[in-house]
Structure 1
């Protein structure tokens, strides 16, 4: 550990204990794959989030050190900042920037009391910020980083509602080695690119696909995966593609926005999202191009139809679901992006924004779908 040349601050255990009031339970804000997370206040008035590595953590010290080294080398306005670390005795601690407005998932479709009123300008700013952060990871940083778990809960919001990507540095593309990594899949259903979910084929195009899904969630204010009945599942991406076929993409817009949005910007964002979620990885744009398209600097290419054919009954069911059918059962709209494990594939979400910020459990926000699916959210 001592040989790591980290360009970050070093904290003593005494400082961390003082900041968190000796890890007082009242300051505990989350529990994740690495262990507990506490809110703290440094002597200079800086509010921090402290991730305490659990002695029972399955990830262990090696992954902890890997995360530490990766994050320390990556600094960008749209990445969560790592202030420093504490490696003392049997304590392994990470000290992060604290995010006042929690995460994007809670802001958009969390329990009603925690939702934020995000106008269109703010939503557009959030998406551009995510795109800029990913462009940095993929194209501008010294390392080529594939996040591999981009989702609304891994996008944190600061006091000014600027978006910051968390949980990055989990997979690296070596510039001088292969252009892809085939590894044990780690991600979240509904956000994973098909080539990654099915074949373990991982490139930056997987992140681009996930970004497209998040962008659709930002426009619609709804989670990508929703369950109306036990045996019926709706995907926001399917609905967006259907609306494209019908030439009525504007129907995707969150009803809470009313008519207060820039129609041209909205349509551009939806079209960019659909480009990003193309089933063919090579047809997805790079993130720097996504930034340019969202900022209106370049035109969005014409979308080609993927020729999806669906039964009229399914289309009508999706229309009612995403347009707010009053008869749909309470508690069936869920967020499936908190934590996913199982379904026979060994897929599990790695330490994420949930590790840093607790999300109160709510039936409208997070429910178990199947016995093998775990939602690791603290109440």
Structure 2
């Protein structure tokens, strides 16, 4: 057996000894390099070159005899016509005013607005649509309430019946907006608008337009200056005329290595990466134009193949003897790490997790399609697991920030050694995450093989900390989580749990807590840490197992009766809901003895109708009736989730529906998707109006 294994290994080494090409390339391996290199002058003195490209078939990158696509980033085609450079976003045209290739920004203005300015006599154009940046383009819009103008068109007020606009919002005094039917139009800086009420309802259309923040402040219309007449006449047109900025990230996708080697990326019109276009005419798929990929290198490889073939017969027998000896010696000296030995021990049973362990032990996990990383590449990615790269404790291992060779920034969880339970949790988490895909679950990239030096899990890096950090941890002082954001976090976390409970077989997370709910840079939820999760059989009502979880979150019925159900997650989520409305930790020994456990404290305060002693008053509970109503409804929902009898708790799908109803009801300040642009500290890809429009033909905004 040893000789057969040695022969197999020798065969692999012999194949590896022959020079190989870096990557597979299309049948046609050349393109016309001159089409992608020159800088083309366009309207208004704008130079168009990579990563922008001309929306012209003559500029198409040709591989072999086939025209594939343009040389540049998706969605960055510029049309040169009528002395203008035009960029198309969704269904609207924008005139390119300037491109800063060093800072990766492009300044554009609404072409429809510029056309109106060319024709209008009083210089007061009308905004006709919101700005929508399609998801498939590489351009990003970073706009906040401080650099956006809100327009309210054709507002018809009935005095004594319809609420009037606040006194600081002035009507537009251009002649073109003085309608004969008595309607009025308004413009204001979005950051200066008071909290929304019913007054915009009589307006036929409400639109938002981004502008340059520095130019806006130059007009003196910031919140500290108040509104000036100039904004409501010709001032806003000057802002629209100078447009707004979009940016792009050159490190995105496979372009990083390609451009680093002086190549240029080519994409199909559907956004699929075609290949790296090298200056020597080569097209390399998923590669770069490094020293080993040129024509001379290709000839050198052929020569090496011929030389290798000529000497292979002479050294084959010698290699066989040497490699057989080395292989037998290596087998005798081979010692698995403590983690690997423990993993073998966990595979003796026949549970779903142990079956996954067996697959991992064999080095495949075919059924789970789990990607295997080598220990060496993860060691390199984390700078040898240096303390400077450490970002937290993942429950049964330390978590490090890592930079993979393909440019991805990841989180690497390193298993603590010498614990059967932690090895089982490692296998369980890999098995669970390999089969899950949901926007509110942390993305699992893969793990090491059980035979590597250590057991490591690799996830997407979620950079904005945990909900616990923001509620009562080291990020709490920033007060970044407004009430609308907290309500959205509750909705997205409930959606993730509803997905887990709905898959087949269902999954019970078993460790739902604010420390396991991560937040990305836009404050969207990523539920993490599945080490304690259980696959739940479809034909049973509960599973008997020893209680595991975090104090303060564990279902008391599960703790008492050792019976795990999906309602155990509902109880834990109820604790999270109370954290969101109170900003208090689940367990705090500095509180009064009866209030140490937040769940017990919440039940007592709600039953005594003393919600004001529980909630975080800085969220607006005492100052705004809408917020008070929404927070009260969430508290009542949490009360239902925290019932000691699991059968009295609602299923998570019902909890999700209730939260969405609260969010869509519009009673909370800024609650609802349509108000995110005003309230959330994020950089959206779509700017849209913060209020409903009563237009009979509302525009639909696509993310």
Tell me, yes or no, whether TM beats 0.5. yes
Shift of 1:23: 1.9
Deviation at 1:33, TM superposition (A): 5.1
For residue 275 of structure 1, the aligned residue among 623, 640, 665 is 640
Structure 2: distance between partners of 1:252 and 1:229: 12
Q: 1:211-243, CA deviations, whole angstroms, 9 ceiling, x for partnerless residues?
A: 111101101111133223796653333343333
Cα distance in 1 between the residues matched to 2:592 and 2:583 = 22
Match of residue 294 from structure 1? 659
| Residue 289 of structure 1, CA deviation | 0.9
Per the alignment, do residues 249 and 229 of structure 1 end up closer, same or farther by CA in structure 2, a change over 3 Å counting? closer
- Is the deviation greater in 10-19 or in 58-67? 58-67
Assess if the C-alpha contact under 8 Å between 1:268 and 1:293 holds in 2: no
Matches within 5 A, 1:158-237: 158-168=520-530, 170-176=533-539, 178-228=540-590, 233-237=595-599
- Indicate the SS of the match to 1:127: helix
Distance in 1, Cα, partners of 2:474 & 2:664 = 37
Query: What is the rounded CA distance, in whole Å, between the counterparts of 1:122 and 1:144 in structure 2?
Result: 29
Q: Which residue of 1 aligns with 2:485?
A: 122
Contact 1:265 1:294 in 2 (8 A): no
Using structure 1 for the length normalisation, give the TM-score: 0.72
1:1-379 counterparts in 2 under 5 A? 1=360, 2-5=363-366, 6-32=368-394, 34-59=396-421, 61-87=423-449, 89-111=452-474, 116-139=479-502, 141-168=503-530, 170-176=533-539, 178-228=540-590, 233-258=595-620, 259=623, 262-296=627-661
Deviation, 1:202, is 0.8
Cα distance in 2 between the residues matched to 1:220 and 1:30: 25
- 3-state DSSP of counterpart to 2:596: strand
Residue 345 of structure 1 aligns with which residue?
none
| Cα displacement (A) at 1:262 | 2.4
Q: Is the 8 A contact 2:552 2:599 kept in 1?
A: no
The alpha carbon displacement at 1:142 in A equals: 2.4
- Taking a change above 3 Å as real, the CA distance of residues 210 and 33 of structure 1, as seen in their structure-2 partners, is closer
CA distance in 2, matches of 1:191, 1:61: 24
**What SS does the aligned partner of 1:50 have?**
strand
Q: Distance in 2 between matches of 1:286 and 1:230?
A: 32
1:297 and 1:33 map into 2 onto residues whose CA distance is 33
Deviations 1:176-222 (A, max 9, x none): 3x321111110122211111111211101111011111101101111
Shift in Å at residue 62 of structure 1? 4.1
**Paired residue secondary structure (1:130):** helix
Structure 2 stretches lacking a partner, 5+ long: 1-359, 666-703
**2:428 and 2:530 in contact (8 A); partners too:** no
SS at match of 1:76: coil
- C-alpha displacement of 1:256: 2.5
Compute the displacement of 1:93 (Å). Answer: 1.4
**How many residues of Structure 1 are paired with residues of Structure 2 in the alignment?**
298
TM-score norm. by structure 2 comes to: 0.40
Distance change (3 Å), C-alpha of 1:112 and 1:11 = closer
Q: CA deviation at 1:40?
A: 0.6
Where in structure 1 are there 5+ consecutive unaligned residues? 301-379
Q: Report if aligned partners of 1:35, 1:57 keep a CA contact under 8 Å in 2.
A: no
Do the aligned partners of 1:137 and 1:143 also contact (CA within 8 Å) in 2?
no
Deviation, structure 1 residue 31: 4.1
SS at match of 1:143: coil
